């Protein structure tokens, strides 16, 4: 299967893992390869802020591992889905379940953070949030640089939109981590 062409043949996780895509970011969605464009500067800066603020807290309190955007997480098998959030957190109690860190992480993270790009449709990004939740992610943050808001998803029925004066309430997933929304956009 040519990774750059469309086909009805579904790609497997094993095949996806062997592709050489010249360092281009991609995801496997229900057996279909999806290429992703590089992000712009604002997106990258906001994603780095999210990752830095989370990683500093996680490292200081030895709570688990924070992963960057290139890390693939297996959400479903047959058809296979591998997604890569902009930032992810896996709690210390689950890190031991990862047999081979050179491979994709075999389960969904506890926390997934997606930064919305200008080229993203909100419905497409929200679809990702629901896919994370369906796979077992406990908290999904959709960070919107254009509006400087955070859409917080705990379930399909528990969604909140947070603005500049709010604090992201994530302590139940990342012990003690609460961050002011405004800090994500500095």
Along the chain (186 residues), what's the average pLDDT of each consecutive run of 10 residues? Answer: 53 74 66 75 94 98 95 92 95 94 94 94 94 98 97 97 97 97 97
The verdict on residue 122 lying in a domain is yes
CB-neighbour burial class of residue 153 (10 A; exposed 0-12, middle 13-18, buried 19+) = buried
Structure tokens that stand for 175 in this block: 């012990």
Left (φ > 0), alpha (ψ -120 to 50) or beta: where does 45 sit? alpha
Task: Please report the pLDDT score of residue 8 as a whole number.
Answer: 63
* Contact indicator for 99, 85 with CB cutoff of 8 Å: no
Task: Please report the pLDDT score of residue 102 as a whole number.
Answer: 87
* Contact indicator for 171, 51 with CB cutoff of 8 Å: no
* Contact indicator for 27, 3 with CB cutoff of 8 Å: no
- Say how many domains are in the chain: 1
Task: Please report the pLDDT score of residue 116 as a whole number.
Answer: 95
CB-neighbour burial class of residue 78 (10 A; exposed 0-12, middle 13-18, buried 19+) = exposed
Boundaries of domain holding 98: 40-184
CATH number at residue 112: 3.90.1570.10
The verdict on residue 31 lying in a domain is no
Task: Please report the pLDDT score of residue 23 as a whole number.
Answer: 54
The verdict on residue 23 lying in a domain is no
Task: Please report the pLDDT score of residue 53 as a whole number.
Answer: 98
* Contact indicator for 50, 115 with CB cutoff of 8 Å: yes
The verdict on residue 157 lying in a domain is yes
The verdict on residue 127 lying in a domain is yes
The verdict on residue 115 lying in a domain is yes
């Amino acid at each position: 299967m040519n990774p750059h062409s469309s086909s009805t043949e579904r790609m497997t996780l094993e095949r996806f893992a062997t592709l050489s895509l010249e360092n281009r970011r991609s995801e496997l969605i229900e057996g279909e390869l999806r290429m992703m464009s590089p992000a712009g500067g604002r997106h990258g800066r906001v994603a780095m802020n999210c990752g830095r603020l989370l990683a500093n807290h996680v490292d200081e309190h030895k709570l688990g591992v924070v992963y960057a955007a290139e890390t693939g997480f297996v959400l479903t098998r047959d058809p296979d889905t591998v997604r890569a959030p902009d930032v992810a957190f896996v709690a210390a109690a689950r890190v031991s379940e990862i047999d081979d860190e050179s491979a994709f992480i075999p389960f969904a993270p506890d926390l997934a953070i997606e930064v919305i790009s200008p080229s993203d449709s909100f419905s497409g990004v929200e679809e990702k949030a629901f896919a994370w939740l369906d796979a077992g992610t406990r908290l999904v943050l959709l960070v919107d640089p254009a509006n400087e808001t955070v859409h917080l998803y705990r379930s399909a029925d528990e969604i909140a939109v947070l603005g500049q004066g709010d604090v992201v309430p994530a302590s139940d997933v990342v012990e003690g981590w609460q961050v002011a929304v405004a800090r994500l956009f500095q």
